[in-house]
Chains A and B, each alone.
Chain A
Amino acid sequence: MQSKEAVVEDGEIKSVTAVGSEIDGWTNFGDDDIMQQQYTIQAEEAKKVPFVGDKEPLSSLAAEYKLGSPILLEKIKVLDEQYAAIRRTRGDGNCFFRSFMFSYLEHIMECQDQAEIDRIQANVEKSRKALQTLGYADLTFEDFFALFLEQLESVIQGKETSISHEELVLRSRDQSISDYVVMFFRFVTSAEIQKRAEFFEPFILGLTNTTVEQFCKSSVEPMGEESDHMHITALSDALGIPIRVVYLDRSSCDTGGVSVNHHDFMPVAGDLPNASCSSEKNIPFITLLYRPGHYDILYTK
Chain B
Amino acid sequence: MAEKHNLKNPAVKRILQELKEMQSNPSDDYLSLPLEENIFEWQFAIRGPRDTEFEGGIYHGRIQLPSEYPFKPPSFMLLTPSGRFETQTKICLSISNHHPEHWQPSWSVRTALVALIAFMPTNPNGALGSLNYKKEDRRALAIKSREAPPKFGTPERQRLIDEIHEYMLSKSSPVPQLAPSQVSEEHSKTEEAEAEAQVNLHNPEALPAGVEIPDQAGDRVVEEQELPVNVNSNPAGVEASMDNSSSGSSNQLLQKSDARVQNLKPETRIQKSDDRLFTLAAIGLTIAIVVLLLKKFIKSTEYGAVFMDES
Which residues of A are interface residues toward B (Cβ below 8 A)?
A: 2-7, 10-13, 136-137, 139-144, 147, 175-176, 179-180, 183, 187, 217-218, 221-224
Contacts and interface: CB of A to CB of B under 8 A. Distances in A.
Given A2-B221, A183-B71, A147 B104 contact: no
B187 interface: no
Contact of B106 (A140, A147, A179): A140
B21 A11 contact: no
A139 B104 contact: no
B237 to A, nearest CB: 26
Contacts of A218: 102
Given A4-B220, A5-B90, A11 B104 contact: no
Contacts of B64: 13
Nearest to A176: B10
Given A2-B221, A7-B219, A187 B106 contact: yes
A11 B6 CA distance: 25
Contacts of A6: 219-220
B153 A139 contact: no
A10 B230 CA distance: 45
Contacts of A147: 10
Interface string B230-267: 00000000000000000000000000000000000000
19 contacts: A4-B220, A5-B221, A7-B89, A10-B153, A11-B157, A140-B105, A140-B108, A143-B14, A176-B10, A176-B11, A179-B68, A179-B71, A217-B104, A218-B102, A221-B104, A221-B106, A222-B103, A222-B104, A223-B71
A136 B154 contact: no
B58 to A, nearest CB: 19
Contacts of B273: none
A4 B221 contact: yes
Interface residues of B, number: 34
Contacts of B159: none
Given A2-B221, A222-B104, A223-B71, A139 B13 contact: no
Interface of B: 9-11, 13-14, 17-18, 21, 62, 64, 68, 70-71, 77, 88-90, 101-108, 128, 152-154, 157, 219-221, 223
Given A4-B220, A5-B90, A183-B71, A139 B21 contact: yes
Contacts of B13: 143
A179 B128 CA distance: 30
A141 B108 CA distance: 11
A5 B105 contact: no
Nearest to B217: A6
Contacts of A223: 71, 105
A141 B10 contact: no
Most chain-A Cβ atoms within 10 A of its Cβ — which of B10, B13, B64, B128? B10
B21 A222 contact: no
A29 to B, nearest CB: 13
Contact of B152 (A11, A139, A175): A11
A215 to B, nearest CB: 13
Contact of B10 (A4, A10, A143): A143
Contacts of B105: 140, 144, 183, 221-223
Nearest to A190: B106
Given A10-B154, A11-B157, A136 B71 contact: no
Contacts of A217: 104
Nearest to B90: A5
Given A2-B221, A5-B89, A6-B219, A139 B108 contact: yes
B77 to A, nearest CB: 8
Contacts of B21: 137, 139
Contacts of B104: 217, 221-222
Nearest to A12: B153
Contacts of A179: 68, 71
Given A179-B71, A221-B104, A5 B220 contact: yes
Contacts of A10: 153-154
A92 B152 CA distance: 39
B106 to A, nearest CB: 4
Contacts of B9: 176
A13 B128 CA distance: 17
A141 B223 CA distance: 36
Given A10-B154, A140-B107, 19 more contacts: A2-B221, A6-B220, A7-B77, A7-B219, A11-B62, A11-B152, A139-B14, A139-B108, A140-B70, A143-B10, A143-B14, A175-B68, A176-B10, A179-B71, A180-B10, A217-B104, A222-B103, A222-B104, A224-B101
A139 B18 contact: yes
Most chain-A Cβ atoms within 10 A of its Cβ — which of B17, B18, B103? B17
A136 B106 CA distance: 8
Nearest to A147: B10
A137 B221 contact: no
Given A7-B219, A187-B106, A221-B104, A143 B157 contact: no
Contacts of B89: 5, 7
A175 B219 CA distance: 34
